Amino acid sequence: MKRFIMWALVMFFISTTFAQQALWGDAHVVSPEIHKDHTVTFRIRAPKAVKVEITGDFPAPQQIQTSNGKSYVPGKVQLKEGIGGVWEYTTSEPLASELYIYSFIVDGQRTIDPASVAMVRDVATVSSLFIIPGDPGDLYSVSDVPHGTVARRWYDSPTLKEQRRITMYTPPGYENSKESYPIFYLLHGSGGDEEAWVSLGRTAQILDNLIAQGKAKPMIVAMPNGHTQNAAAPGESSRNYTPAMGGGPRKAEASMEDSFGDIMKFVESNYRVKKSKTYRAIAGLSMGGMHSAAISAQYPNTFDYVGVFSAPPIAGLMTRNNLNSVKAVDEFVKKLQVQQKNGPKLYWIACGDTDFLYQSVMDSMKKMDEIGFNYSYRESSGGHIWKNWRIYLSEFVPMLYK
Amino acid sequence: MKRFIMWALVMFFISTTFAQQALWGDAHVVSPEIHKDHTVTFRIRAPKAVKVEITGDFPAPQQIQTSNGKSYVPGKVQLKEGIGGVWEYTTSEPLASELYIYSFIVDGQRTIDPASVAMVRDVATVSSLFIIPGDPGDLYSVSDVPHGTVARRWYDSPTLKEQRRITMYTPPGYENSKESYPIFYLLHGSGGDEEAWVSLGRTAQILDNLIAQGKAKPMIVAMPNGHTQNAAAPGESSRNYTPAMGGGPRKAEASMEDSFGDIMKFVESNYRVKKSKTYRAIAGLSMGGMHSAAISAQYPNTFDYVGVFSAPPIAGLMTRNNLNSVKAVDEFVKKLQVQQKNGPKLYWIACGDTDFLYQSVMDSMKKMDEIGFNYSYRESSGGHIWKNWRIYLSEFVPMLYK
């Protein structure tokens, strides 16, 4: 029988060539083509186009001068038109091992690579992606190792008076074990949601791979939505979606810090997690880094591991010339003093050397030095980008629960 | 403190206007705008464009004449350029309640709606989407009702000698109960993967809503990947992705029917499911419909509920002029006779009246009539499209486990 189902399906496809084209794009164009030497060729068929460019993580961002200093804009390269209206560009140098996201810009119109099935959604933007093998690219790839489970669940938040969506990673074997596991709360940035760490952050792949290599303890990772004005990512909630700072019909009724107890309660009553400080970690990027600092200070004897990625632990220092801010900083420093007495095992601050928050991170650490707060600092090159956040996650996780 | 994090974030956003634009598109263009009378206005800023069109579920498909008969291509409408290079189109009539997917075509280049955050991925294609409220649109919407969990898990298939990805829906309350639940295996079509039923199929929303309305029993839904040559959706597996009929480095080592036992074993040993025929259902669309017929015939006393959506239960009839096919049909009819003796409670065939598989569905039912096979038939208008598959799912689920 199965041979005939196959036959029938071939007939099916012949009769739906139109649908097939819609699904698979143009079969004759190969893009991206990763060559053996790790140079990459990009191709897109666009016979009517006047100008075709690539932008994204590749090519590298360009520095520009603005009224308040230096800033970065995404790099762009131009493709050249060849036979049959296929535009092409090959990198002049091999690319370093990394996960790259990119888009084409065809006469000003952004589009993903029609020839590639690999894509990723970042809130409202979909981009194509490819991985150059090696270190760290292999760590971000789906490998032939046991895989954990990624679940989208809903928890009740009495503080915010609603059901909210959360992404949960459970390690390989969790479902068929009676064991309890350490718990890691991992928070996204302002331009993200509960999908961010599992999409661009590659959390499931990084955890699967580090656990398989024996470099990380099997752990549960809870990735909530850190925007209290939204219950979920775009399209996933019954309320209209409100962009991060775009205002909207509903104001946040409480902050992420105030409502964090609801998340912990959900996790601890729905998962087999170890309920002690020794087995609790919290970290986040950008806004999520500020959240991690604020939450671990508000619950000062709860987390033995705190990670603040690309953000000043003392958020008030970002507006340090403001009188109210001075007061807020003082109040927060008092909280830090309490937290320091309880002695977290690891308070890890990481920042890129061209991050636009670099100075406020430096200012935070100076203030923390003044009160003898015990932290570690990791500086990488580059700015406020996912490349750095994947590195920080990959380095932070192996240090946990030791 | 929380006020100062807010303040800091405002500063953050002012300093990253570039990033914000990339995330939120152009804040001044509203699209799609659903008016009170359910007409819809679409807008896109494309000052350099010569021609801008919309295509998708909306506007309606157009019939064309091909060498082997009539066929359908997606409908298109043209937008008109207005002030500031913003192109606009408003429907002349209100749209019926439904979930619509659409894209813009800017000078031949397909793009999602840059002003909308609502989008859906169908294998390798991302489209924008909107829902017109009412019946059935409300059933496809995230409502303020208890939500089930959607998990991406991996199961071991000894038959296919690999780990394979599966999407699991568990109903609201599953995790905090000791109860056992009925199980529903739901299979995608040839142009789909283990994501299809939860993305375009809206399975989680339909189930959440029907359960909340008391119209469906709480049940577990297992949505495996039906392409045995792939282990998972594009980008989710350690092997290169092979498009449905595109060939590739690895051939399927066994069929979906042969390996289905591995899926049942995984589900029954990892979930609290009722392990009797009375509480087992299987259904699928197109290729998944053929799979459902073939699997329920191969395990002839296992499922009391079988749904075959937009597909001939007797797949061999699609190539009915072929000698081998005649033999295959005869063999399958013998299996159906065994299945009929065991008496499934519901064998539900559904098809659209313009589906390109319509005739083979009719031929199948004629053959089944000849052997006195007991089935129900539901005919809807339209073709081989998700609109119909959502309707079939919404009608099939309330009939289960009664």
Q: Can you give the pLDDT at residue B18?
A: 36
Helices (H), B343-385: 358-370
Helices B358-370 and B323-342 meet at what angle, rounded to 10? 60
Which of residues B172 and B319 earns the better pLDDT score? Answer: B172
Residues A294-325 have pLDDT tens digits of 999 999 999 999 999 999 999 888 776 676 77
pLDDT band at B2 (very low <50, low <70, confident <90, very high): low
Q: Do A316 and B25 touch (CB under 8 A)?
A: no
Q: Do A1 and B294 touch (CB under 8 A)?
A: yes
Report the relative pairing of strands B98-106 and B76-78 from DSSP bridges: unpaired
Please tell me the distance from the alpha carbon of residue B35 to that of residue B94, in angstroms, as a whole number: 9
pLDDT band at B114 (very low <50, low <70, confident <90, very high): confident
Residues B313-330 have pLDDT tens digits of 998 887 666 767 788 899
Give me the amino acid identity at A99: L
Q: Tell me which residue in B9, B126, B142 faces A236 most closely, judged by beta carbons.
A: B142
Given a cut of 70, whether residue B369 has pLDDT beyond it is: yes
Residue B325 near chain A (CB below 8 Å): yes
- Within 8 A of B70 by CB-CB distance, chain A residues are none
Model ipTM value? 0.88
Q: Can you give the pLDDT at residue A194?
A: 95
Q: Can you give the pLDDT at residue A63?
A: 78
- Within 8 A of A11 by CB-CB distance, chain B residues are 318-319
**How many residues in total does chain A contain?**
402
Residue B23 near chain A (CB below 8 Å): yes
Q: What mean pLDDT comes out for the span A348-361?
A: 95
Q: Do B48 and A107 touch (CB under 8 A)?
A: yes
Q: Can you give the pLDDT at residue A35?
A: 97
Q: Give the rounded percent of residues in chain B with a pLDDT score beyond 90.
A: 67
Please tell me the distance from the alpha carbon of residue B256 to that of residue B260, in angstroms, as a whole number: 6
Q: What mean pLDDT comes out for the span B93-122?
A: 90
Report the relative pairing of strands B69-73 and B62-66 from DSSP bridges: antiparallel
Q: Can you give the pLDDT at residue B153?
A: 97
Q: Do B49 and A24 touch (CB under 8 A)?
A: no
Given a cut of 80, whether residue B244 has pLDDT beyond it is: no
Q: Do A11 and B73 touch (CB under 8 A)?
A: no
Ranges A65-74, B233-242, B277-286: which has the least confidence: A65-74
Residues B28-62 have pLDDT tens digits of 789 999 999 999 999 999 888 899 999 988 887 78
Ranges A62-71, A312-321, B9-18, B186-195: which has the least confidence: B9-18
Q: Tell me which residue in B12, B141, B149 faces A151 most closely, judged by beta carbons.
A: B149
pLDDT band at A9 (very low <50, low <70, confident <90, very high): low
Give the residue on B whose Cα is nearest the Cα of A105: B109
Q: Can you give the pLDDT at residue A289?
A: 96
Given a cut of 80, whether residue A211 has pLDDT beyond it is: yes
Q: What mean pLDDT comes out for the span A330-354?
A: 95
Question: And the tokens for B357?
Answer: 């598989």
Interface of B with A in 137-196 (CB under 8 A): 141-144, 146-147, 149-154, 163, 165, 175-176, 190-191
Give the residue among B343, B377, B385 at the shortest CA–CA distance from B361: B377
Other CB atoms within a 10 A radius of the CB of residue B382 amount to: 17
Q: Can you give the pLDDT at residue A155?
A: 97
Q: Can you give the pLDDT at residue A109?
A: 83
Give the residue among B7, B228, B191, B16 at the shortest CA–CA distance from A23: B191
Q: What mean pLDDT comes out for the span B64-90?
A: 86
Residue A20 near chain B (CB below 8 Å): yes
CA-based nearest distance A110→chain B, Å:
7
Cβ-defined contacts of B332-338 (< 8 Å, 24+): B332/A1, B332/B294, B332/B297, B333/B367, B333/B371, B335/B297, B335/B298, B335/B300, B336/B297, B336/B368, B336/B371, B336/B373, B337/B371, B337/B373, B338/B297, B338/B300
- Within 8 A of A13 by CB-CB distance, chain B residues are 190, 244-245
| Cβ-based neighbours of B1, under 8 Å, separated by 6 or more | A257, A294, A315, A316, A328, A331, A332, A335
Question: And the tokens for B332?
Answer: 């399958």
Domains, in order of start, for chain B: 22-134 (2.60.40.10), 149-244+251-399 (3.40.50.1820)
Q: Can you give the pLDDT at residue A42?
A: 97
pLDDT band at B240 (very low <50, low <70, confident <90, very high): confident
Kindly state the DSSP code that residue A273 receives in the 8-state scheme.
Answer: B
Give the residue on A whose Cα is nearest the Cα of B326: A4
Residues A151-196 have pLDDT tens digits of 999 999 999 999 999 999 999 999 999 999 999 999 999 889 999 9
Q: What mean pLDDT comes out for the span A339-357?
A: 95
Given a cut of 60, whether residue A74 has pLDDT beyond it is: yes
| Cβ-based neighbours of A308, under 8 Å, separated by 6 or more | A283, A284, A289, A290, A292, A293, A347, A348, A349, A350
Q: Do B25 and A175 touch (CB under 8 A)?
A: no
Mean pLDDT score of chain A, rounded to an integer?
88
Q: Can you give the pLDDT at residue A104?
A: 94
DSSP string, B156-172: EETTTTEEEEEEEEE-T
Q: Can you give the pLDDT at residue A72?
A: 73
| B381 Cα distance to chain centroid | 18
Q: Can you give the pLDDT at residue A243?
A: 66
Ranges A252-256, B129-133, B173-177, B297-301: which has the least confidence: A252-256
Q: Can you give the pLDDT at residue A8?
A: 53
Report the relative pairing of strands A376-380 and A98-106 from DSSP bridges: unpaired
Which of A204-213, A243-252, B121-130 is most confident? A204-213
Residue A86 near chain B (CB below 8 Å): no
Which of the residues A4, A255, A335 would you substitute to probe the B interface, choosing the one with the greatest number of B C-beta atoms within 10 Å? A4
Mean pLDDT score of chain B, rounded to an integer?
88
Given a cut of 60, whether residue B358 has pLDDT beyond it is: yes
Q: Can you give the pLDDT at residue B6?
A: 54
Report the relative pairing of strands A80-81 and A86-90 from DSSP bridges: antiparallel
Q: Can you give the pLDDT at residue A355?
A: 93
Q: Can you give the pLDDT at residue A351?
A: 98
Q: Do B191 and A111 touch (CB under 8 A)?
A: no
Residues A377-387 have pLDDT tens digits of 999 999 899 99
Q: Can you give the pLDDT at residue B8?
A: 53
Q: Do B315 and A8 touch (CB under 8 A)?
A: yes
Please tell me the distance from the alpha carbon of residue B41 to that of residue A181, in angstroms, as a whole number: 51
Q: Do B109 and A111 touch (CB under 8 A)?
A: yes
A–B: how many Cβ contacts below 8 A?
Answer: 263
Segments of B144-234 assigned E as strands = 149-157, 162-170, 183-187, 220-224
Q: Can you give the pLDDT at residue A248?
A: 44
Determine which helix (DSSP H) or strand (DSSP E) holds A364, and give its type and residue range.
Answer: helix A358-370
Q: Do A163 and B146 touch (CB under 8 A)?
A: yes
Which of the residues B3, B53, B67, B109 would you substitute to probe the A interface, choosing the one with the greatest number of A C-beta atoms within 10 Å? B109
Given a cut of 50, whether residue B11 has pLDDT beyond it is: no
Given a cut of 70, whether residue B363 has pLDDT beyond it is: yes
Given a cut of 70, whether residue A352 has pLDDT beyond it is: yes
